[in-house]
């Protein structure tokens, strides 16, 4: 490492606040087009624009490359190309920043579906006063698939609303169910929440068979990654009323094109990958990166280190 390390920032607006690092780092800025050229000169890559898919394509096969990549996101599926996984480059993520915001967003969707708010908006648009009954949330059952800090925060928030929430992870541990329990839990759930990282093990896990296991009164929520769901299967499940409703904040191809049929599936709520994006998060993400940078520059161990084989930060 050079005396003053080079930090390459894959930019997005607003820029990260790196003031505390002034004089201790040389900062270069890249966009998708310039990333490949600039990468070999960087000691550290900050993937601030976590919607970019450019890192996979731009990652050098051989030769100089950053020793450390940090992404301002919880998921790392947009980074992990085979060359990066095989390299000794360390990858860290924004573990912790999005947990509570995403949990609140899930609570908002669950309550909106229970209280039939989408229909309320539709009727309001037509000036129709049509009284309906709604569902209690307290006393219902949720399954949260994904046992990272986001999944656990979702379970905590739903429990605060009186929901019985079970969490399913890749391995059973205290308070967390293993994959063997999944189908049994799905069959009794009122709410199924997808909050798992996208890995080779989780890709397409919500398929026609799994929607078929769910109750006709169940609602499905995906705030994880679009690739967790076989989208045609979700559409069939909704159209066939195998499940009562769904909300997806993430889809396979983002941004969803305006001519996608997904926008118009009855009972499906589509939002633009915003569940964790609360006002104030940029400051929190900046501060988290600066803290990690200071650890790295001082030769202390990093935190939030991704297990590149597994595709996420292994839990507690």
**Nearer of residues 100 and 181 to a copy of itself, judged by Cβ:** 100
Residues in CB range of 6: below 8 A, 6 or more apart: 25, 26, 27, 28, 41, 42, 43, 44
**Nearer of residues 134 and 240 to a copy of itself, judged by Cβ:** 134
Name the minimum Å distance from CB 243 to a copy of itself. Answer: 18
Measured distance CA(146)–CA(168) in Å, rounded: 6
Q: Is residue 216 at the binding interface for a copy of itself, with CB under 8 A as the rule? A: no
The residue behind tokens 């990282």 is: 197
- Pull the structure tokens for residue 185: 């839990």
Q: Which of 2, 19, 130, 298 binds a copy of itself (CB under 8 A)?
A: 130
**Catalytic site residue from 201, 254, 294, 300:** 254
Catalytic annotation present for 152: no
Give the range of 17-25, 111-119, 183-191, 192-200 binding a copy of itself by CB under 8 A.
Answer: 111-119
**Nearer of residues 6 and 215 to a copy of itself, judged by Cβ:** 215
Give the range of 29-37, 119-127, 179-187, 201-209 binding a copy of itself by CB under 8 A.
Answer: 119-127
Q: Cα–Cα distances in Å, from 103 out to 65, 98, 189, 262, 316?
A: 36, 8, 18, 24, 19
**Catalytic site residue from 65, 78, 152, 225:** 225
Catalytic annotation present for 200: no
Kindly determine how many residues on this chain lie close enough to bind a copy of itself according to the rule CB under 8 A: 53
Q: Are strands 268-270 and 68-71 parallel, antiparallel or unpaired?
A: unpaired
Q: Which residue(s) pair with 42 in the sheet?
A: none
Nearest to 67 by CA among 86, 96, 44, 84: 44
**Nearer of residues 104 and 207 to a copy of itself, judged by Cβ:** 104
Q: Is residue 107 at the binding interface for a copy of itself, with CB under 8 A as the rule? A: yes
Nearest to 293 by CA among 25, 89, 2: 25
Q: Which of 128, 180, 301, 316 binds a copy of itself (CB under 8 A)?
A: 128
Examine residue 205 and say whether the peptide bond preceding it is cis (omega within 30 degrees of 0).
no
Residues in CB range of 260: below 8 A, 6 or more apart: 251, 253
Q: Which of 37, 183, 254, 294 binds a copy of itself (CB under 8 A)?
A: 254
Q: Is residue 65 at the binding interface for a copy of itself, with CB under 8 A as the rule? A: no
Q: Is residue 25 at the binding interface for a copy of itself, with CB under 8 A as the rule? A: no
Q: Are strands 44-47 and 6-10 parallel, antiparallel or unpaired?
A: parallel
Please check whether residue 290 is in contact with residue 18, taking contact to mean a CB–CB distance below 8 angstroms.
yes
Quote the DSSP letter at residue 301. P
Catalytic annotation present for 225: yes
Name the minimum Å distance from CB 282 to a copy of itself. Answer: 9
- Binding residues (CB under 8 A) for a copy of itself: these are 100-101, 104-105, 107-109, 111-112, 114-115, 117-118, 120-124, 126-138, 157, 160-161, 254-256, 258-260, 263-264, 269-274, 277-281
| Residues with catalytic function | 225, 254, 273
């Amino acid at each position: 490492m050079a005396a003053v390390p080079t930090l390459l920032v894959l930019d997005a607006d607003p820029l990260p606040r790196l003031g505390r690092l002034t004089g201790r780092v040389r900062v270069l800025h890249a966009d998708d087009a310039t990333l490949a050229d600039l990468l070999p000169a960087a000691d550290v890559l900050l993937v601030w624009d976590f919607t970019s898919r450019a890192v996979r394509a731009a990652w050098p096969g051989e030769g100089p490359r950053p020793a450390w990549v940090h992404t301002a996101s919880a998921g790392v599926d947009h980074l992990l190309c085979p060359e990066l996984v095989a390299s000794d480059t360390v990858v860290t993520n924004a573990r912790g920043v999005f947990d509570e915001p995403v949990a609140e967003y899930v609570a908002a969707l669950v309550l909106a579906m229970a209280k039939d708010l989408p229909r309320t908006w539709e009727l309001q648009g037509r000036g129709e006063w049509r009284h309906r009954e709604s569902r209690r949330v307290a006393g219902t059952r949720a399954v949260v698939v994904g046992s990272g800090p986001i999944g656990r925060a979702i379970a905590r928030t739903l429990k605060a609303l009186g929901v019985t929430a079970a969490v399913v992870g890749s391995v059973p541990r205290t308070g967390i169910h293993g994959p063997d329990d999944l189908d049994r839990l799905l069959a009794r759930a009122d709410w199924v929440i997808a909050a798992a990282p996208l890995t080779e093990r989780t890709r397409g896990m919500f398929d026609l068979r799994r929607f078929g296991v769910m109750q006709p009164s169940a609602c499905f929520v995906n705030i994880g990654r679009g690739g967790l769901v076989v989208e045609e299967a979700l559409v069939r499940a909704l159209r066939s009323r195998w499940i009562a409703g769904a909300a997806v904040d993430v889809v396979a191809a983002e941004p969803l094109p305006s001519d996608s049929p997904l926008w118009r599936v009855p009972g499906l709520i589509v939002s633009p990958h915003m569940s964790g994006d609360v006002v104030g998060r940029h400051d929190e993400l900046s501060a988290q990166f600066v803290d990690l940078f200071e650890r790295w520059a001082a030769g202390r161990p990093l935190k939030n280190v991704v297990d590149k084989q597994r595709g996420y930060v292994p839990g507690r």
